[in-house]
């Protein structure tokens, strides 16, 4: 398999399937393209009609969009372990991933993912604060329902991979959260797969000015 991704420092969408694959020790080749460059657009024409990362190429099949990639990996390589096993949990996990996938625009706009950023708070809009409240409610609901585990649904799942960029944002922008959520953030930030991503991101030199908030 080959996974085409963007800058590790900035590309939240790339992180999601990469983290899932790395956490479950799937064998894949990583191909990195720098975001917002003429070369990227040129290169992406070879891989995806959307011209966006991430893209998974496997046995002649091309899958773009982070959620579609995670679903494919779950079906093809994880024997369903990418989602919680209980029907109700699986439905909730899919719902919150879809909500993450299609929403929280103020958080995305005002709090760009930037792994290298010095940890410090910023002034946020009312809309961003409202979205943060909703995200904290999601975390709390899932964690309270699965006190026996370390992750949102007990075992690590696609839901955790999907919310990893939010975990990073909450850390670098110093968002206050309840103790149980704080413990979850700490576990995620110390996930071995993420530590590998973080080290690579810190070593990158490229700068995207709009993400340097």
Q: Give the domain ranges of the chain.
A: 2-80, 87-195
Q: Which long-range contacts (CB under 8 A, 24 or more apart) does 173-181 make?
A: 173/111, 173/120, 173/121, 173/122, 173/124, 174/119, 174/120, 174/121, 175/121, 175/132, 177/136, 177/139, 178/136, 178/140, 180/140, 180/143, 180/144, 181/136, 181/139, 181/140, 181/143
**167: helix, strand or coil:** helix
Distances (CA, A) of 37 to 4, 43, 47, 145, 204: 15, 10, 16, 44, 15
How far does the chain reach from its first CA to its final CA, in angstroms? 35
Report d(CA 4, CA 47) in Å as an integer.
Answer: 8
Classify domain 87-195 at the CATH topology level. Answer: Glutathione S-transferase Yfyf (Class Pi); Chain A, domain 2 (1.20.1050)
Summarised one tens digit per residue, pLDDT across range 62-81 is 999 999 999 999 999 999 99
Element holding 56 (H helix, E strand): strand 55-58
Q: In this structure, what token pair is assigned to residue 111? A: 């709090």
pLDDT surpassing 80 at residue 28: yes
**What was the pLDDT predicted at 35?**
86
With left for phi above 0 and alpha for psi between -120 and 50, is residue 19 left, alpha or beta?
A: alpha
Q: What angle do CA 50, 80, 187 make, to 5 degrees?
A: 85
What percent of the chain lies above the pLDDT cut of 70? Answer: 100
Confidence of residue 98 (pLDDT cuts 50, 70, 90): very high
> Quick check: do 2-80 and 87-195 share a fold?
no
Let me know: does 162 contact 95? Beta carbons within 8 Å: no
φ/ψ of residue 61, rounded to 5: -100, 135
Chain centroid to CA 35: 17
**155: helix, strand or coil:** strand
What integer is the mean pLDDT of 51-68?
94
Report d(CA 9, CA 114) in Å as an integer.
Answer: 5
Yes or no: domain 2-80 corresponds to CATH 3.40.50.300? no
Confidence of residue 9 (pLDDT cuts 50, 70, 90): very high
Summarised one tens digit per residue, pLDDT across range 172-209 is 999 999 999 999 999 999 999 999 999 999 999 999 99
């Amino acid at each position: 398999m080959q996974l085409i991704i963007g800058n590790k420092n900035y590309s939240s969408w790339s992180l999601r399937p990469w983290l899932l694959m790395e956490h479950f020790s799937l064998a894949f080749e990583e191909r990195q393209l720098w975001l917002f460059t003429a070369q990227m657009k040129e290169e992406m024409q070879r891989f995806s009609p959307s011209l966006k990362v991430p893209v998974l190429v496997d046995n002649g099949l091309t899958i773009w969009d982070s959620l579609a990639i995670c679903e494919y990996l779950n079906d093809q390589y994880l024997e369903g372990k990418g989602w919680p096993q209980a029907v109700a949990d699986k439905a909730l996990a899919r719902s919150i991933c879809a909500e993450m996938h299609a929403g929280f625009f103020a958080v995305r706009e005002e709090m760009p993912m930037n792994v290298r950023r010095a940890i410090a708070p910023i002034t946020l809009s009312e809309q961003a604060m409202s979205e943060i409240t909703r995200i904290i409610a999601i975390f709390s609901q899932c964690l309270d329902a699965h006190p026996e585990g370390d992750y949102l649904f007990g075992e690590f799942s696609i839901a955790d991979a999907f919310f990893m960029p939010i975990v990073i944002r909450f850390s670098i922008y110093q968002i206050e959260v309840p103790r149980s959520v704080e413990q979850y953030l700490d576990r995620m930030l110390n996930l071995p797969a993420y530590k590998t991503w973080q080290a690579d991101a810190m070593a990158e030199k490229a700068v995207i000015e709009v993400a340097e908030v």
